[in-house]
Amino acid sequence: MNAWLFSQTMCLWPASHPASRYPCFNAHQNSFSASNVLANKLCYLNPNLFFSSSLPFSEFHPIMHHSQLAPLPSNVPFRIVSRTIGQGAYACIKKACPLDDDNPVFAVKYIHKDYAARHGKISARQLAMEVTVHKHVSGHGNIIEFFTTGEDDVWRWIAMELAEGGDLFDKIEADEGVGEDIAHVYFSQLVSAVGFMHSKGVGHRDIKPENMLLTGDGNLKIADFGLAALFEYKGTRKMSTTFCGSPPYIAPEVISSSTKGTNKGSGYHPDLVDIWSCGIVLFVLLAGNTPWDSPTDDSYEYHEYVATNSRTTDELWQRLPSATLSLLRGMLTVDPKGRFSLEDVRRHPWYTRANKFLSIDGKLRDPINLATSMFESLHIDFSQDPLSRPRKGTGRSFDQMDMDVEDNTAAGFSSTQPEMLGGGMMMDWDNPQEADVFSSTQPLGKQFASQDAVMAGHLEDEPSMSQFSQQPSVPVSRTQNAQKFQDIIPSRAMTRFYSSWELKLLVPLICEALHRLGVPVPSVPAVTAGDTSALIRVTAKDGRMCPLQGKVLIECVSEGVFEVEFVKMKGDPLEWRRFFKKVAILCKDAVFRPDE
């Protein structure tokens, strides 16, 4: 089985393969074999967000600056055309293009091989399987294309398709979800991609929002095959025993039948696990939240779901379209023997329904109107209480109003400064001069207490400002010449706000908001006259007790105008947006709002 898979990496690209569109790779084909493999995790191809590592929460790493590492490979058939657009503990992603042309633009992931081996415990066999499986399932319109790979003594690089539209779930409102037609589009494309993988005998085993990206036209792309497994070859099926995946999205048998489960080592079928995960994704598309923390009795919602034979009274289920309920119950059948197959899913009336946004060939139709609908659904209600208690049964989250500092560790939160919790390093790829909290540059001039006129002019066409309006709308400048999905919704996440407050007032306000949300903040040095930017690293567990990791970047973008950007590095996009909204509401006095 493995010999067959490895033999596939030795083949030259056929004329029909997408890599043939990239002449810069052709001269290098023969030098790439099964030993030239991707390290750590498959590229998370979001053009404007940081790479989301698959490391467990206990292995969050302190910062190592890129300047301390060996130079990136220079003898490569392409040139880099961007700063880092994604990053993880051992890898970074940059945009690239051919040496002698500006097009096409693709993504290249660089992996530090020594760090991946020593600190990530990533075996050569695991790396080989990941890149081989990804290449094996390339060729479907809803799967990120694998192009080629290479290495030097220090680095492994891999070139692949760039998902120009960014994260799908960056464009979905937390706790609200999207309309039924939009959910149907992306669920249909997900099922199509998963069906193609299964036809190749491959189970993804890590289907979740972090791995669902978009093209510039708004079509879905599945990424990240680091946990993928070959479950069938020449008619022979093989069960898996590896405990893997994200708790809210994994099937119950992964927990009970893996090497760590109560039925230790009995195994599970990767394809049936994928079907369960697809059902959870559909639920999240419609509701804006997962139905439970994990499929165990420790979760009140899951316990009730099982006890009521899937007729739960949970409020999230009550909000779902009635036509989806039988589909979800079929996909989320606890006993895998009774769970829907993909054929059952494809025959379901809700799946086969007509959809104005979905063409016959499965591609997005009318992307401008669909993007507009998604864009205008993103909003922040400043009248909400960000410290309200979570709904019954959910795990602890940022909602703990009465939690004191001593309780934070027990609740799953850790300091916003990096701590040595594992043996590795988190690399800071583009900012070697950046301090942990403040970086100083030349002062830009006098800061004004009130800059409403300046702010309004500077931010007139800024897409993220819409979410702060009483009636969110797409900026006129984006609608006038819009021809594709990306022209309406930018690939860059909308988790940012702008302020005219001085830095010396803005930083303490944000730190106080984090403290009130139960995220402990270390002592912060005083802001000096020359400081024009600040950085606060955030590490926590979200409302479902899953790792959430990122940073708050505060930068002066114009005289008297500061951008406060929340950059997710690891975790569920909806949970990160939920976190951003809570901080923004707590900082509302400093947030510039176009309606005021």
Q: Of 77-81, 97-101, 287-291, 440-444, where does mean pLDDT reach its minimum?
A: 440-444
Question: Would you place residue 288 in the very low, low, confident or very high pLDDT band (cuts 50, 70, 90)?
Answer: very high
- pLDDT tens readout for residues 11-36: 334 444 555 556 666 545 443 333 33
430 has a pLDDT exceeding 50: yes
SS3 call for 498: strand
Tokens of 15: 């004329």
Q: Is beta strand 426-428 parallel, antiparallel or unpaired with respect to 63-65?
A: parallel
Give just the sign of the alpha carbon dihedral 136, 140, 144, 149. Answer: positive
Dump pLDDT digits (tens) for 127-177: 788 889 999 999 999 999 999 888 888 888 889 999 999 999 999 999 999
Helices (H), strands (E): how many in the chain?
18, 19
- 214 pLDDT band, cuts 50/70/90, is very high
Indicate the DSSP class of residue 514: H
Question: Would the pLDDT of 104 be above 90?
Answer: yes
CA 551, CA 431: separation in Å to the nearest integer? 13
Mean pLDDT, residues 332-358: 98
- Look at 44-48, 197-201, 581-585 and tell me which has the smallest mean pLDDT: 44-48
Mean pLDDT of 564-589: 94
Q: Average of pLDDT values for 273-284?
A: 99
Backbone Cα Rg of the chain: 23
The answer to whether the bond into 349 is cis (omega within 30° of 0) is no
| CB contact set of 311 (below 8 Å; sequence gap of 6+) | none
Q: How many CB atoms lie within 10 A of CB 349?
A: 9
Provide mean pLDDT across the span 500-514: 94
Amino acid identity of 211? Answer: N
Average pLDDT, the chain: 79
At residue 442, the pLDDT reads 35
Please give the average per-residue pLDDT across 67-94, as a whole number. 82
Binding site as annotated, residues for ATP? 109
Residue with more model confidence, 200 or 155: 200
What is the β-pairing status of strands 220-222 and 212-214?
antiparallel
Measured CA to CA, the distance from residue 581 to residue 538 in angstroms comes to 15
SS3 326: helix
458: which 2 tokens?
């500077």
What confidence score (pLDDT) does residue 26 get?
57
Average pLDDT rounded to a whole number, residues 288-316: 95
pLDDT (0 to 100) of residue 519: 86
Give residue 413's pLDDT band: very low, low, confident or very high (50, 70, 90).
very low
Would you state the pLDDT for residue 20?
Answer: 56
pLDDT over 90 (residue 357): yes
Asked if residue 1 lies in contact with residue 53, where contact means CB atoms within 8 angstroms, the answer is no
Distance CA 411, CA 395 (A): 9
Q: What are phi and psi of 241, to 5 degrees?
A: -125, 0
What pLDDT is attached to residue 19? 57
Domain boundaries, the chain: 2-160, 167-365, 405-586
Of 167-176, 325-334, 425-434, the range with the lowest mean pLDDT is 425-434
Which residue, among 372, 341, 347, has the nearest Cα to 357 in the 3D structure? Answer: 372
The residues facing 439 across adjacent strands are 533
Q: How many percent of the chain have pLDDT more than 70?
A: 75
Strands 106-112 and 79-87 come out as unpaired
What sign does the CA torsion over 30, 34, 36, 37 have?
A: positive
* Higher-pLDDT residue of 460, 246: 246
- The lowest-confidence range among 70-79, 92-101, 125-134 is 125-134
79/100 Cα distance (integer angstroms): 9
b/e for 3-18, b at 16 or more Cβ within 10 A? eebbeebeeebeeebe
Mean pLDDT of 99-114: 89
By three-state DSSP, how is residue 85 classified? strand
pLDDT tens by residue, 534-544: 999 898 888 88
Contacts for 113 with CB less than 8 Å, ≥ 6 apart: 39, 151, 154, 155, 156
Q: How far apart are CA 443 and CA 441, in angstroms?
A: 6
Neighbour tally for 55: CB within 10 Å = 22
Residues contacting 484, CB < 8 A, separation 6+: 216, 217, 218, 367, 368
CB contact at 8 A, 364 and 185: yes
Q: Return the pLDDT at 453.
A: 54
> With contact defined as beta carbons under 8 Å apart, do 568 and 53 qualify?
no
**Least confident piece of the model among 212-216, 256-260, 372-376:** 256-260
- Residue 379 in this model has a pLDDT that exceeds 80: yes
Distance CA 569, CA 51 (A): 6
Please report the pLDDT score of residue 47 as a whole number.
31
From the candidates 167, 170, 206, 293, give the one annotated as an active-site residue. 206
pLDDT for 505 beyond 80: yes
Average pLDDT of the segment spanning 66-90:
80
Task: Supply the CATH classification number for the domain 405-586.
Answer: 3.30.310.80
Residue 221 bridge partners (DSSP): 213
Q: Which of 100-104, 384-388, 452-456 has the highest mean pLDDT?
A: 100-104
Q: What is the pLDDT of residue 42?
A: 30
The dihedral region occupied by 362, where left means phi > 0, alpha psi between -120 and 50, and beta the remainder, is left
pLDDT confidence band for 89 (50 / 70 / 90): low
Asked if 491 and 164 count as a contact pair (C-beta separation under 8 A), the reply is: yes
Would you state the pLDDT for residue 260?
65
Asked about 206 being catalytic, the answer comes back as yes
Residues 6+ apart with CB under 8 A from 495: 170, 565, 566, 567, 568, 576, 577, 580
Class of domain 167-365: mainly alpha
pTM to 2 decimal places: 0.81
Conformation bin of residue 218: beta by default, left when phi > 0, alpha when psi is -120 to 50: left
CATH, domain 2-160, list 3.40.50.720, 3.40.50.80, 3.30.200.20, 3.40.605.10 = 3.30.200.20
Q: What is the pLDDT of residues 36-75, one digit of tens each?
A: 333 333 333 333 322 233 322 323 333 455 545 788 998 9
- Written as six digits, the tokens of 281 are 């994704």
